[in-house]
């Protein structure tokens, strides 16, 4: 049986890089998508099963070209890890600029939709039909951090997108699930100050626990590796002891 093919967006760093490498090690052929070609090549590390495709997920033509390239090279798309995202500005809902709001949504929501659309079209047309889409949500899809309105609302939208994809894909054996990750050690955790003191709802700052990104990658691989007749619709993985249930 031919190796399964996957597309990972935001593959140049963080969770996307870890997931792409885990999938390559598990025997997938993986198309690495992201804006920075050099970073994608670092993720690929010379693997013959990695396909580097520089892509801005907010540009429709580039996303369409990404999936056309994968189908041309490998004949099908079996898995999409819809991971590209932006945190957006750390401001109150009262102070956010419309431009910042729209840019966050362009990446986190419109970009995710464009990639899901490309994957679904390929999965619907291929033989045998079907495939799996995994959306990277966030625990902010459940409970926001302070001063994260654009990011938090966009991640709530991802939950709706996940459910809609899973429903609309049903006639074509396309399933969709969402993984919500909290405080895995990546660059964005440094931006939030999680390791040095993240802003809490009461105005204080607290050093929060984190966990290794490789554990998050293995969890995504678990979802990707399920047989077609099974799907994890929603999964939450967090650092043990982090203030998630206690937010608010």
Place of tokens 């990639």: 115
Spell out the domains of the chain, with CATH numbers in brackets.
Answer: 5-238 (3.40.50.720)
8 A C-beta contact, residue 161 and residue 136: no
Q: Would residue 172 show up in a list of annotated catalytic residues for this protein?
A: no
One digit per residue, the tens of pLDDT, for the chain of length 248 reads 468 999 999 999 999 999 999 999 999 999 999 999 999 999 999 999 999 999 999 999 999 999 999 999 999 999 999 999 999 999 999 999 999 999 999 999 999 999 999 999 999 999 999 999 999 999 999 999 899 999 999 999 999 999 999 999 999 999 999 999 999 988 766 665 566 788 888 888 888 889 999 999 999 999 999 999 999 999 999 999 888 865 54
Stated pTM of the model: 0.94
Catalytic residue among 66, 84, 151, 224: 151
Nearest to 50 by CA among 24, 69, 22: 24
Helices 149-168 and 98-105, interaxial angle, to 10°?
A: 30
């Amino acid at each position: 049986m031919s190796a399964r093919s996957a597309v990972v967006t935001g593959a140049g760093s963080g969770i996307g890089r870890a997931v792409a490498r885990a999938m390559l090690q598990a025997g997938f052929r993986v198309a690495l998508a992201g804006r920075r070609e050099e970073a994608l090549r670092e993720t690929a590390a010379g693997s013959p099963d990695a396909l580097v495709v520089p892509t801005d997920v907010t540009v429709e033509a580039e996303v369409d070209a990404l999936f056309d390239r994968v189908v041309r090279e490998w004949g099908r798309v079996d898995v999409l890890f819809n991971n590209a995202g932006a945190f957006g500005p750390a401001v109150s809902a009262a102070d956010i600029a419309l431009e910042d709001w729209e840019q966050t949504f362009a990446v986190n929501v419109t970009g995710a939709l464009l990639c899901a659309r490309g994957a679904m079209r390929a999965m619907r047309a291929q033989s045998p039909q079907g495939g799996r889409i995994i959306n990277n949500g966030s625990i902010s899809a459940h409970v926001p951090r302070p001063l994260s309105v654009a990011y938090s609302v966009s991640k709530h939208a991802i939950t709706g997108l996940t459910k809609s994809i899973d429903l609309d894909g049903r006639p074509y054996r396309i399933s969709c699930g969402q993984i919500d990750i909290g405080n895995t050690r990546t660059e964005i955790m440094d931006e939030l100050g999680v390791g040095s003191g993240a802003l809490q709802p009461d105005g204080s700052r607290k050093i929060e626990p984190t966990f290794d990104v490789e554990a998050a990658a293995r969890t995504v691989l678990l979802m990707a590796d399920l047989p077609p007749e099974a799907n994890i619709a929603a999964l939450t993985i967090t650092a043990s002891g982090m203030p998630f249930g206690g937010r608010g």
